[in-house]
Structure 1
Amino acid sequence: MVTPLLRPMGERAVLAEVGDLAGVLALHAALAAEPPEGIEDLVPAARTVLVAFDPARITVAAVHAWIRSAAGSPAPESPPGPLVEVPLRYDGPDLDDTAEALGIRPPELIARHAAARWRVAFTGFAPGFAYLVSADWAFEVPRLAQPRTRVPAGSVGLAGEFTGAYPRETPGGWRLVGTTDAALFAPDAIDPVLLPPGARVRFVPERAAVAAAAPVASASRHEPGRTARTDAAPRADAAPALRILDPGARATVQDLGRPGRAGLGVSRSGALDRGALRIANRLVGNAEDAAGVEIVLGGFRARAERDVWVAVTGALADIRVDGRAQDAYAPLLLSAGAELSVGVARAGARLVLAVRGGIVAPLSFGSRATDTLASLGPAALRPGDVLRAGAAVAPVPVVDVFPWSVPAPAIDVPVTPGPRTDWFTPAALRILRDATWTVTGDADRVGIRLDGPALDRSRPDELPSEGMRPGALQVPPHGRPVVLLADGPVTGGYPVIAVVTDAALDRLAQLRPGDRVRFRGR
């Protein structure tokens, strides 16, 4: 095996680059065979394996040494995967343009795509999103110059050497050539992923149902109502605590997320302002990782179903109980029937509401967090929903004053070098740190698009898909960076020029459209 080139991906990950996909699969198998303490995730991609680690448990030097040692070890052989037939209507909006770019007619593109014998090289981007390759497919398809903000679920696209199908409505820059009705990802099914790594795949034009040759489980495993993975029902000790009267712009249940699942295509998710969640939980005697409610821009109202302690942290907004003003960052006792209201945020973008005992909701992949990209976890809150809370773990602390600061409309954010700084001109690297960037209206839990001067590349070619992390500054071809956040994809195909430090990610959670960001090197 070729010795990999090791590239930094922020403070908590290394990108190990090898020559080709076969090298990736061999390296990933060797690394997965015996990971040392402190390794949190392995994410194989087209030419790289992302190795995420906890710097408190293992040093960067030790990670580098382990990767190089694994690269010299033989990888175990994998048996052929199951064969899955996927129905496909070749009706994508980019079909004609893609065929023209490849120098062929649309019917020939369809015929070649349907005749190819595909296999799943790896999963990523989103749960259930499989990257398929084929020795029968000789084309390299460029991504869109500017990715779509929304790609419909079931869309089948081309990018580079890969074919992929979108299991959920997400942003994406692949060229869409068709749509399928196959259930690609069903989080509550026993086997949630229809196309797991190693599976052999055949696209069947205009078929109405998925058929699978033995020994594959059929598509019935993705029907609703199958056995959930864990804790689908509320715990017996969970009692009604709050009834939602108005969730505001958007309110979701969030805890500290799903770390360590990126290799399955599952992003970290969880509260964007993790510090605000931890503090709110401490103020009501919860464990710091208990689930609370993340409220976007305020406008939230709820009624207490029983006597219950709550705390509100994060953005600046007026907090009232039955019309009387209350303090943020303080424990509040709501009597049964009392109404809590959180006004429209005057500074910052997200508030966190903690309830004593923690919000109890079904677990999905070990977390109660709502992942907006993958549609994991509870649905966004609606009027009439009742939040249940469990048993408290500690007394409510006596708090006279808790020091906190109002989120600012302009912030400095420290960054470390990304793995693809060599894809940009020296001028682009200076501009990244000298410019003041403006948050656009495209800012959500997946990422923040920034407006400002273009960051010019030093090389124009396509980057094969590789592992991503929260805080990564991706730069699409139009040159304006996108900062990935907790619900962002676990793989992507745009070069990462820099990575926001982990400690600074919470500050990004409070940015709203029109706010300004300056990046500072470390």
Structure 2
Amino acid sequence: MGERAVLAEVADLAAVLALHAALAADPPAGVDELVPAARTVLVGFDPARTSADAVRSWIRSVAGTTPDAVAPGPLVEVPVRYDGADLDDTAALLGIPVADLVAHHAGVEWTVAFTGFAPGFAYLVSADWPFDVPRLAQPRTRVPAGAVGLAAEFSGAYPRETPGGWRLIASTDAVLFDPDAADPVLLPPRSRVRFVAQRARVAAAAPSAPGSGASGGRGTSGGGDAGDSPSPHPSPSLRPTPEADSPPVLRVLAPGGFTTVQDLGRPGLAALGVARSGAVDRAALRIANRLVGNDEGAAGLEIALGGFGARAESDTWVCVTGAFVEVRVDGRTADAYAPVLVPAGAELHIGAVRAGLRCYLAVRGGIVAPVALGSRATDVLAGLGPAPLRAGEVVRAGDPASPIPVVDAFPWSVPPTVIDVRITAGPRADWFAPSAWSTLVDAEWTVSTHSDRVGMRLDGPPLERTRHDELPSEGMRPGAIQVPPHGRPVVLLADGPVTGGYPVIAAVTDAALDALAQARPGDAVRFRRA
């Protein structure tokens, strides 16, 4: 799965749980992520510290000694009300009374096989669950937070409002995902789960003391066991609650096409359903930060399509990188890829992009915004991080890490309209006809208007598949090139889902992802084998 991950495939979910437990027991240096899924475990690694061959050898050695029995995870009891919109229809579909469906669902012990789709969304399985429940023919555009559903062999509960095609049979007040909690996910992989039927709405209890095993409406640990279009973004603003004394540096006059706070994201949390997120063009953000004396990973602004304007609340050093745009300070042209002083009261304007898609604005000291799971980045699919900027909002800055470097000129180039992208073969290349790879690398693909931070959709000739059966969900990474049934590739980007069910024919190299971040609708993309 690209240069930084391999996919270990096993026979069934039981084998996934066993392999994941064995791998998690003692990972070697350089392995930084384990993502279980329906039939696979994705193993992410740092190529500067280990190699793909070493990781493969480690997986094989561990798999050869994996015991049949896996130590059970902690038991979590989730209070539910069996009041789902599809409860009656699902029981009728299965040919049983509603009371029997409820008794089966609440009577078995479930296990979290893996998470995905959204942060904290757990795919639950049980050896004692006798039903295979078809998904809805037409998915809902809105499934409320707390809805409990069935699909195929799985049950699951929605942590937040999203679209979804599962059959809804119940609801819960348990907090399934809380980015500010010490344990943000109520139902992590390998947890055991029991649904406890409640007749009335469960009142949220006060948060318990750390380590007590219970957390208000989050469900309770029982029995003394050991251990497509997102909904509107819920975060209110950039108000930095824990760092309210940070000085204001800019007041937004025009937020531009789509402006979000981004740093280098949340790597290593995919097993909890949390995407990497962060800047799509990481190199551009790193450079902008370095040129104003920040740490490379400090938060800046990612501005899609340009059109941003702000007034300086105090003397502020800034740097603009990424897409080719005109930068002006009080009407005077300023350099991109260079530190620029914006005096107090002066206005900074970033024009419409002339080439590329995303520009990055770093301010000296780094942007201060609420931290969620160790990052200030905005994840538009998961609803993590601050909301996109609005006119009138104040941007605050922290303390600079080092002096502003003395730079006569920084080498940079205008993003091209035809982008060459290096790729490696993906784990499901054998699902496609031999001609599909030739088509992939020979065709000139056009970036669709239906592209965003989640994924880049490409228009061009269809890629022919030889297998048309459904692929069980498996781990995904930024740069994975999925091929939906229509045959045209989709490249997952920073906010893409951490698991997916479309076959991955190839993966974009890590370095090429930054270049791909500047491809705008109508630009051409050509794939080349790395």
The answer on whether the counterparts of 1:90 and 1:110 sit within 8 Å (CA) in structure 2 is no
Q: Which of 357, 363, 367 is the aligned partner of 1:349? A: 357
Cα shift at 1:38? 0.5
Q: What residue identity is the alignment partner of 1:28?
A: H
Q: Residues 56-111 of structure 1, C-alpha deviation per residue, up to 9 Å, x if partnerless?
A: 1001121111111111334551255122133354326x996x899x7769969965
Pair 1:81-2:75 in alignment: yes
In 2, Cα distance between equivalents of 1:88 and 1:13: 41
Q: Distance in 2 between matches of 1:158 and 1:498?
A: 32
Residues 1:57 and 2:49 aligned together? yes
Deviation, 1:128, is: 0.8
Change in 2 beyond 3 A, CA 1:443/1:459: same
Kindly indicate whether the alpha-carbon contact (under 8 Å) linking 1:95 and 1:177 is maintained by their aligned counterparts in 2.
no
Distance 2:481 2:378 in 1: 23
2:116 aligns with 124
- Residue 5 of structure 1 aligns with which residue? none
Alpha-carbon spacing, 1:69–1:459, altered in 2? closer, same or farther (3 Å): same
Alignment pair present for 1:233 and 2:242? yes
Bigger mean CA deviation after superposition, 81-90 or 305-314: 81-90
- TM-score normalized with structure 1 length: 0.86
The question of whether the paired residues in 2 share the 8 Å contact of 1:474 and 1:483 is answered with yes
- Between the aligned partners of 1:125 and 1:361, the Cα distance in structure 2 is 26
Q: What amino acid does structure 1 have at the position aligned with 2:350?
A: V
Measured in 2, the distance between the counterparts of 1:300 and 1:507 equals 22
In the alignment, which residue of structure 2 is the partner of 1:264? 272
The amino acid across from 2:257 in the alignment is A
Task: Tell me by how many angstroms 1:36 deviates.
Answer: 0.9
**Which position in structure 1 is the counterpart of 2:281?**
273
1:474–1:201 distance in 2 versus 1, CA, 3 Å: farther
Alignment of 1:16-415 (within 5 A): 16-75=8-67, 77-79=71-73, 81-87=75-81, 89-91=83-85, 114=105, 117=108, 118-140=110-132, 153-154=145-146, 156-170=148-162, 174-177=165-168, 180=171, 182=173, 183-197=175-189, 198-202=191-195, 208-209=201-202, 217=214, 219-221=216-218, 233-234=242-243, 238-415=246-423
CA RMSD of aligned residues (A): 3.1
Shift in CA distance, 263/411, structure 1 to aligned 2, threshold 3 Å: same
How far off is 1:438 after superposition? 2.2
> Which residue number in structure 2 is paired with residue 500 of structure 1?
508
Tell whether the 8 Å contact from 1:47 to 1:464 is kept in structure 2 after alignment.
Answer: yes
* Structure 1 pair 370–326 and aligned structure 2 pair: CA distance change class (3 A): same
8 A Cα contact 2:318 2:342, kept in partner: yes
Q: 1:79 to 1:266 in 2, by over 3 A?
A: closer
1:479 is matched with which residue? 487
Q: Quick one: structure 1 residues 398 and 59, their matched pair in 2 at CA, closer, same or farther if it must change by over 3 Å?
A: same
Change (3 A) 1:289 1:14: same
Distance 2:203 2:113 in 1: 20
Aligned to 1:4: none
TM-score for the superposition, normalised by structure 2: 0.85
**Contact residue 283 and residue 331 of structure 1 kept, 8 A:** yes
Distance 1:156-1:500 versus aligned 2 partners, 3 A rule: farther
1:85–1:210 CA contact under 8 A, matched in 2: no
**Counterpart for residue 4 of structure 2:** 12
One-letter code aligned to 2:444: T
C-alpha distance in 1 between matches for 2:330 and 2:88:
57
Distance, in Å, in 1 between the alignment partners of 2:491 and 2:152 is: 23
Find the aligned partners of 1:27 and 1:206 in 2 and give their Cα distance.
39
Deviation track 1:256-290 (CA, whole Å, cap 9, x = no partner) reads: 11111112221111100001101111111112111
Report the residue type matching 2:217 in the other structure.
Answer: S
| Deviation, structure 1 residue 205 | 9.1
**What is the alpha-carbon distance in structure 2 between the residues aligned to residue 190 and residue 361 of structure 1?**
19
Alignment: residue pair count: 500
Please give the secondary structure, in 2, of the residue aligned with 1:442. Answer: coil
2:23 match: secondary structure: helix
Instruction: Using the TM superposition, give the Cα deviation of residue 369 of structure 1 relative to its aligned residue in structure 2, in angstroms.
Output: 1.2
Task: Tell me which amino acid in the other structure corresponds to 2:181.
Answer: A
Task: Render the CA deviation track for 1:202-243: whole Å, top value 9, x for unaligned.
Answer: 28599644899xx96254359xxxxxxxx960175x322112
Deviation at 1:169, TM superposition (A): 4.6
C-alpha deviation, 1:430, in angstroms: 2.2
Question: How many angstroms apart in 1 are the aligned matches of 2:483 and 2:5?
Answer: 19
Letter in 1 for 2:37: A
- CA distance 1:429–1:158, change in 2 (3 Å): farther
Amino acid at match of 1:47: R
* Distance 1:85-1:48 versus aligned 2 partners, 3 A rule: same
- Indicate the SS of the match to 1:27: helix
Q: Secondary structure at the match of 1:342?
A: strand
**Following TM superposition, by how much is the alpha carbon of 1:114 offset from its aligned partner in structure 2, in angstroms?**
4.2
**One-letter amino acid of the structure 2 residue matched with residue 91 of structure 1:** A
Q: Which moved more, 1:360-369 or 1:331-340?
A: 360-369
| Partner SS, residue 301 of structure 1 | strand
Letter in 2 for 1:83: E
Amino acid corresponding to residue 395 of structure 2 in structure 1: L
**Is residue 430 of structure 2 the alignment partner of residue 422 of structure 1?**
yes
Gaps of at least 5 residues in structure 1 are: 1-8, 223-230
Contact 1:309 / 1:333 at 8 angstroms: preserved in 2? yes
